[in-house]
Amino acid sequence: MITINRERCKGCGLCTDVCPAKIIMIKHDKPNSKGYYTAECTDNEHCRSCRMCGIICPDCAITIYKGGK
Ligand code: SF4
Ligand code: SF4
């Protein structure tokens, strides 16, 4: 599973493009305190813990946990 630090995220969408499971989306309802619409994981159960999202994020906003822990 992953967690995304909304205050670090600037909504660039790189993580949504790179995720092989397609479980990250940019949420367009509530911006963070800097005014960015941020990424959210929509289905952590299907995360493959491949780390691609964390590697590509330029703002180190994503933390990956292996095995759902
Ligand atoms: S670790 Fe891999 S499968 Fe999980 S959300 Fe990130 S890119 Fe997607
Ligand atoms: S790559 Fe990082 S900054 Fe860009 S949308 Fe994903 S979490 Fe946010």
Report pLDDT for 60.
98
Six token digits for residue 28? 């367009």
Six token digits for residue 66? 């292996």
Ligand nearest to the CA of 41: 1
Give tens-digit pLDDT for 51-62: 999 999 999 999
Six token digits for residue 59? 């703002």
Ligand nearest to the CA of 19: 1
Distance 56 CA to ligand 2 centre (A): 8
Asked whether residue 69 carries a pLDDT value surpassing 60, the answer given is no
Identify the DSSP state of 29. S
Average pLDDT, the chain: 96
Query: What is the arithmetic mean of pLDDT over 23-35?
Result: 97
Question: Domains (ranges, CATH) in the chain?
Answer: 2-68 (3.30.70.20)
Query: In testing the pocket of ligand 2, which one of 2, 4, 41 has its CB within 8 Å of the most ligand atoms?
Result: 4
Share of the chain above pLDDT 90, in %: 94
Q: Where are the alpha helices (DSSP H) in the chain?
A: 14-18, 52-56
pTM for the structure as a whole = 0.94
Asked whether residue 23 carries a pLDDT value surpassing 80, the answer given is yes
